[in-house]
Every structure is written in structure tokens, then in C-alpha cells.
Chains A and B, each alone.
Chain A
Amino acid sequence: MTSLSKTVSSLWPEPLRLVLFLVGILSFVGLNAAYLVWVERKGAGRFQRRPGPTEVGWAGLLQPIADAVKLLSKQLIVPAGADTTLFRVAPLLMMSPALMSLAVIPFGPSLAARNINVGLLMIFAFGSINVMAIMLGGWSSRNKYAIISAARVVSQNVAYEIPMLLVVITMIMVTGTMNLNEIVLQQAGAFWHWNFFKVWVNPLMPVTFLIFYICMLAETNRAPFDMTEAESELVAGAYTEYAGMGFGVFFMAEYANILLGCALATVLFLGGWQSPIGILPGVFWFLVKMYFLIFSVVWIRWTFPRTQFYGLLNLSWEILIPVSLCTLILSSAMMKLLHA
């Protein structure tokens, strides 16, 4: 795979390489968004002691295709009185940041679409857009449930962006760069070189990872932080008025965001495409780690009940932010001591 891309990049001009990556990322995200639904449903089934989808295709593997066909065949209804432009734009606004951010993630040793020096910053800049997308979707629907959900989304996401950014700042200090490729290259060697285990630089590194993981769950509105689409209270929250493929795009965008979050966690903490035993690094390891994290996200969803809204916000403001500030200060102190 690496030699192929090297050959391609040496023989053919840059625009073609970018187009190839574009198609690659789009198909990767599309396939994942579709088949993560399958993983979720099968996982949910097994956690609930039932088989999950089995009818359509072997082991239900064609179920996402069937769902996509169903959603495509439905009429796209825009409610009367809704703000049509914003209503139609909201799903797109949610999908595009995830797609764009995936351009800087290094999937393999030379499998990054763009090797940007401020890649990490770019991801977080784009990540804030999906808050706006849900808010616009909820507000433009002219539906009370949607508006309550939109209000909740804003407070929840703002509350959880802060500890996430504090944690990322800590990692930037530890690694010294915002270039994701460099971050992965720094973690070369066996698994104890991974950032997760670098406790001599940041003694609270596993806690840092945990905070990042929790914030990632909250940013993507996954259970137990799914107040925005709390089914039993607000029907479908901000997505109530969306029908057909509009809802389908929101759905896919949620999985694309989970994908992005887990990919970022893998790159920052678990060594990206580095192999845990020191030999044969490559995209395979990246995918294994990323899918392990995604499976844990699915597992948590079907295990825990939902927190209350103020419990959610209190968790962030009262616990996560102080702890992440502590890790930041602690890491800078340790780094000063190590260099001194």
C-alpha cells in the first residue's frame, strides 16, 4: 500500500493524489457510517441477549443497505413555517466537518491526505461547527421538542469542549507539535512508547485519556450523554422533524463524528499506526485500535442509563475542568523539571 501511493505520488501530479484521497475518505466514511450502524445493532442485540438483525443478508450484513434504500425512498418533508434554507443545510453542516477533519488523520505511514502542521488545531476548529448544525436543525424545525433539544445541545457541547481542549493542550505540550503525523512518529517502538503510558511526562496520563474519551462521548451526543435526543422525553430531539434522507444524513454524521473522535484518540494516545510489538507498523494497527475504541463506545451506550442534564453539566464544570487543569499544570511542571 505504501509503495503504491509512493508510486502514484511520484508519477502523477498532486491534484490527482488529492482526488484519490477524497474518494478514499468519502468511501471510508460512507462505508463506516453504514456499517457502524450494523455493529451497533448487532452489539445492542448481543448485550440484550438477542441476535440483532439476521434476516437481510448473511448475519444481517445487508441491513444497512436496506435501511439506506428505505430512507432514500421517503419523501423529504420540510414542515410548514420552518426556515427552509437552514432546515436543509443543517444535516450537511453536520457531515462536512467530520469529512474535512479526516483529511489530516494519518491512517498509515504515508496515508494522510494532507500533512498540515496545525492539523490538530484544524480538527478542533471544524469540530465546533457541528454544535451549530444541531442547533440550527433544532431551531429551524419550528417544533418545541426540537428547540428544547437545541438549547440543551449548546450548553452540553460548550461545557464539554473546554475540558477536551485543555486535554489537547496538555498533549500538545507533551508532544511539542500539532502535526498529527509527527505525533504518531514520536510513538514509534513497542507499546510502552505510546503517549498513553508516558507517565514520566504527565503522571495523570491515563486520566487524561479518560477525560478525552468522556468529552468525545459528550461531543458526539452519545449515551450516557445523549440528552439532545433523549428518546423518552423529547421523541427524537433536534431531529424530530427530519424525514427520509435528512435524518439519514444526521445519523451518518453522528457515526462519522464517532469515527473522527476515535481516530483522534488513537492518534493522540494509542500510537496511531504504530504496532504494539514494534514490528510491522501500518494501517492495520490503526484500524484495530480505532475499532476497539468504537466498540467500547457502542458498549457504553447500551449499558448505562442517561444522566440528568444538570448532572451532565456538573460533571463537566465541577469535575472534568478542574481535573484537566490539574493535568495541564502537572505536565508543565514535570516537563520543566525534566528539562531543568
Chain B
Amino acid sequence: MIVKEQVRTEMSADGAPRETFVINIGPQHPATHGVLRVKMTMDGEYVVRAEPVCGYIHRMQEKMGENRTYAQFLPNTSRIDYLSAMTYTHAFVGAVERAAKLQVPPRAEYIRVITSELNRISSHLVWWGAFLLDLGGFTPLLYAFDDREKILDLLEGITGSRLTYSYYRIGGLCNDVDDTFIKGTRAFVAQMRPRLKMYRGLVTDNIILRKRLIDIGPISKEMCRKYGATGPVIRGSGIPYDVRRVEPYSVYPEFDFIIPTFQEGDSMSRYLVRMEEMAQSLRIIEQALDKLPAGPVMAEKVPRVLKLPAGDYCYAVEAARGRFAVRIVSDNKEIPYRVKLRTPSLSNLSLFEEASAGMLLPDALALMGSLDLVIPDIDR
């Protein structure tokens, strides 16, 4: 029985009193992807107010950035968003290279693109499986992980790690790729395309899933802009913002790919954006493999003790979750003065409080799943 003092009588918008109670989703909960606590004030099944409480996995990465040299901070970048680790390392390494005016050889750039896109696919597969798990479909997770194992095996062959790769170095890569990787990646692309088609037929077109996602959790363009939401959230609301297209970096201008954008702004749009992005990543990988030039993978003169000139430098990439940007403030020492990590999940989650007011609990959780949060990304 609910103890009396926990039930509060509030005045609802139309003046009628209603009784609300507070329920905690998390921090240990099957639905929150990481340690996130959401304090939900509920009126029966309706969410009156959902307040995310973050900080359970706060590791103070930005302070660590002030205690280490640039090369020593590099492994930290993988641990911020472990599912999309390559792209995060890319941002940091890109910022340092931009500041130090290092010229990365083209072969390294192409390999960076290939590995980043493989990482993007594996991150989206995890999101897809976990999202469906939230909605009660237990089986697609295992199918997604089956595909993901193949990606992890490919990347393990060249980097040595399965999840938090520290593959990029300041100036290039730590080692080159071999034929096994290239052949394996082509084989993977060939077998992934029919799998994506199967997922569309089995899952995306399933009527129960469509009823759960269509028109659920609408996020308007204005809300995205005001909160700084990026990635599939903003692309699912009709704004085709993708850092790879708007602020191109690396060799992305060389590739021919579509930015999937949907107008409705509901959970189904965000879901479809990510499914399409996986197909587009496969296209980019194929084109990059076709165009992969020969040459060295490391820049020629990378100073052993790297000191960046004083000032601040930014670099942004399109990670799997949205726009990840690194801002390095340097005072001409080998240790950065300040490293600021702008993570996409924080901005994406900040609109949850406003977007979920008045929704039913299962719909609010479907909305949260469609935002694709990784909590260490928020807390750093």
C-alpha cells in the first residue's frame, strides 16, 4: 500500500486536483541504457514530469585531460562513448592535428573513414537490439549481436580490441590494415545488406512495432534547435544536419551517400533514420575500399613532445549519436590547458523533460529509447 505522505495532491493544468506519486526509473533498471535515474512524477499512468538525474558514472574526463599529454589522453576518448569509440578518438586526434597543422596521409584518412563507419554500424546494431528489448521483442537483439560480432572480429584483427579501440594516433594510425581485413570487410558488406532487408521485413514492418512508434514522442524542429539536439534526433525531425555534410572533415566529401531525413519527428522517424544510416554506411565503406590509396599510414614529422600553439581549437565529427566536438585550449605546453568534450547524448537527453510531459509511461520509455542514449556519454 502507498503510504499517505507519498501521495501528493497537485493542481493540474485545468484546475482539477490530481494525486501524483514519484517513481524512480533507474539507476538500476533494464530500460535505462546505463546508469541513469529518471525521477518521474506520475498521475496514474501519465507522466507529469520526468526529471533525469545524471552523474552516476561521472568520471571527470575533462580534468583527466588537464593532467595528461595529448597522446596519454587518447585512450580516454574511447571510453566516453564506448559504442562509437572510433569516432570519438577521431575528433580528439583531429583537433590536435588541426592545431599542430599535421598532414595526415590519405591512406590513413580512408582507413579512418572505413573503421568509423564500421563502428557506426555496430553502434546502431546495439541500439536497435536494445530498443526492441525495451519494447518487449527479445529476439532481434541476438540477431543484431550476431552481425556485430563480425564487425568486432574485423576490427579486432587490426586494432587488437573489441570495444574501446585506441587505433588512431596523432598524425595517422598505429598500424596498417592487411588483406584479411579488406577481404573480410567486403564479405561483411555483402552479407549485411540482405540482413538489413530481413530486419525491415521482420521487425520494421511489424504492426505492433508500428503502433508503438508512429506518432509517439513527437519532437519539433524548434525544440531540436533550442536544445541543441543532433544526430538521428534532429534528422528524424526534418532537419538534415549531419556534420559529415555540413562541416565536412577527413575524406567524406569524396563519398556519395544520402543523409536520411524524415519529417514526422516521432519515434518511428528516428528509428528509420538509424536503419537507413546503416545502409548508407555500407555504401561509404564500399566506396572507401574501392578508392583506398597506397602509402604510409602515419604522418612524417610528428614531434615526440607535442606542444600546441596557444589558443583554442575545435573539431567536430558525426558520431553514431550525433555531433561530438572537442575543444582544446592550449597554453603552449605539452599538457592541454582545458579539454572540453561536447557530447551528443547530453543535448539529446536535455529535451526529454519537456518532450515527455503528459505522455503515458510506455510511450515515454519508447521516446527515451529512440533518443539512443549512452549514459557515460552524458556524464563523461
A contacts B directly in the complex (CB < 8 Å)? yes
Interface residues of A, Cβ cutoff 8 Å to B: 44, 47-50, 81, 83, 139-140, 142, 144-145, 147-148, 223-224, 226-227, 230-233, 235, 302-311
Once A139-B1, A307-B211, A309-B360 are accepted as A-B contacts, the answer to whether A145 and B135 lie under 8 Å apart by CB is no
8 Å CB contact of A308 from B31, B142, B146, B363? B363
Q: Is the CB of A226 within 8 A of B136?
A: yes
Q: Is the CB of B137 within 8 A of A232?
A: no
Q: Is the CB of B142 within 8 A of A223?
A: no
In the assembled complex, 17 residue pairs joining A and B whose CB atoms fall closer than 8 Å, in A order, are A44-B139, A49-B142, A50-B142, A81-B1, A139-B1, A224-B136, A232-B133, A232-B134, A303-B137, A304-B136, A305-B136, A305-B208, A305-B209, A307-B208, A307-B211, A307-B212, A309-B362
8 Å CB contact of B136 from A144, A147, A223? A223
Beta-carbon contacts of B13-26 to A below 8 Å, as 1s and 0s? 00000000101010
A98 to B145, CA, bound (A): 39
8 Å CB contact of B31 from A44, A226, A233? A233
Once A304-B137, A305-B135, A305-B209 are accepted as A-B contacts, the answer to whether A232 and B365 lie under 8 Å apart by CB is yes
Q: Is the CB of A144 within 8 A of B23?
A: yes
Q: A50-B142, A304-B136 are in contact. List 16 more A-B contacts (CB 8 A).
A: A47-B139, A48-B143, A49-B146, A144-B2, A148-B45, A232-B30, A232-B133, A232-B134, A232-B135, A233-B25, A233-B362, A305-B132, A305-B136, A305-B137, A308-B212, A310-B360
A49 to B143, CA, bound (A): 8
Once A44-B138, A148-B45 are accepted as A-B contacts, the answer to whether A233 and B208 lie under 8 Å apart by CB is no
A309 to B365, CA, bound (A): 13
8 Å CB contact of B1 from A83, A307, A310? A83
A307 to B362, CA, bound (A): 9
Interface assignment of B361: CB less than 8 Å from any CB of chain A: yes
Q: What distance in Å separates the Cβ of B264 from its nearest Cβ neighbour in chain A?
A: 18
Q: Is the CB of A302 within 8 A of B138?
A: yes
Once A142-B1, A232-B30 are accepted as A-B contacts, the answer to whether A311 and B212 lie under 8 Å apart by CB is yes
Which of B136, B209, B360, B365 is packed against the most chain A CB atoms within 10 Å?
B136
A235 to B29, CA, bound (A): 7
Q: Is the CB of A145 within 8 A of B211?
A: no
Q: What distance in Å separates the Cβ of A259 from its nearest Cβ neighbour in chain B?
A: 22
Contacts of A147 in B (CB 8 A): 2
Q: What distance in Å separates the Cβ of A311 from its nearest Cβ neighbour in chain B?
A: 5
A233 to B137, CA, bound (A): 13
Contacts of B362 in A (CB 8 A): 227, 230, 233, 306, 308-309
Q: Is the CB of B2 within 8 A of A230?
A: no
A305 to B360, CA, bound (A): 18
Q: Is the CB of B208 within 8 A of A224?
A: yes
Q: Is the CB of B136 within 8 A of A309?
A: no
Which of A48, A50, A232, A235 is packed against the most chain B CB atoms within 10 Å?
A232
Contacts of B146 in A (CB 8 A): 49
Q: Is the CB of B138 within 8 A of A233?
A: no
Q: Is the CB of A232 within 8 A of B139?
A: no
Contacts of B208 in A (CB 8 A): 224, 304-307, 311
A235 to B212, CA, bound (A): 20
Q: What distance in Å separates the Cβ of B161 from its nearest Cβ neighbour in chain A?
A: 24
A21 to B142, CA, bound (A): 43
8 Å CB contact of B138 from A48, A49, A230, A311? A48
A207 to B25, CA, bound (A): 40
Residue of B nearest to A44 (CB): B138
Contacts of B363 in A (CB 8 A): 308
Residue of B nearest to A140 (CB): B1
Q: Is the CB of A235 within 8 A of B30?
A: yes
Q: Is the CB of A302 within 8 A of B139?
A: yes
Q: Is the CB of A232 within 8 A of B360?
A: no
Contacts of A235 in B (CB 8 A): 29-30
Residue of B nearest to A306 (CB): B136
Q: What distance in Å separates the Cβ of B369 from its nearest Cβ neighbour in chain A?
A: 9
A311 to B29, CA, bound (A): 24
A131 to B21, CA, bound (A): 25
Q: What distance in Å separates the Cβ of B310 from its nearest Cβ neighbour in chain A?
A: 50
A48 to B132, CA, bound (A): 14
8 Å CB contact of B206 from A50, A81, A304? A304
Q: Is the CB of A233 within 8 A of B365?
A: yes
Q: What distance in Å separates the Cβ of A150 from its nearest Cβ neighbour in chain B?
A: 11
Contacts of A144 in B (CB 8 A): 2, 21, 23
Q: Is the CB of B209 within 8 A of A232?
A: no
A143 to B254, CA, bound (A): 57
Residue of B nearest to A45 (CB): B142
Q: Is the CB of B31 within 8 A of A232?
A: yes
8 Å CB contact of A309 from B45, B137, B138? B45
A232 to B135, CA, bound (A): 7
A50 to B143, CA, bound (A): 10
Contacts of B132 in A (CB 8 A): 305
A-B pairs, top 8 by smallest CB distance, nearest first, are: A306-B136, A305-B137, A48-B142, A232-B31, A305-B135, A232-B134, A305-B136, A232-B30
Beta-carbon contacts of B200-244 to A below 8 Å, as 1s and 0s? 000000101101100000000000000000000000000000000
Contacts of B206 in A (CB 8 A): 304-305
A49 to B25, CA, bound (A): 31
Q: What distance in Å separates the Cβ of B266 from its nearest Cβ neighbour in chain A?
A: 14
Contacts of A227 in B (CB 8 A): 362
Which residues of B14-49 are within 8 A (CB) of A? Answer: 21, 23, 25, 29-31, 45
A164 to B227, CA, bound (A): 49
A295 to B372, CA, bound (A): 34
8 Å CB contact of A233 from B141, B209, B361? B361
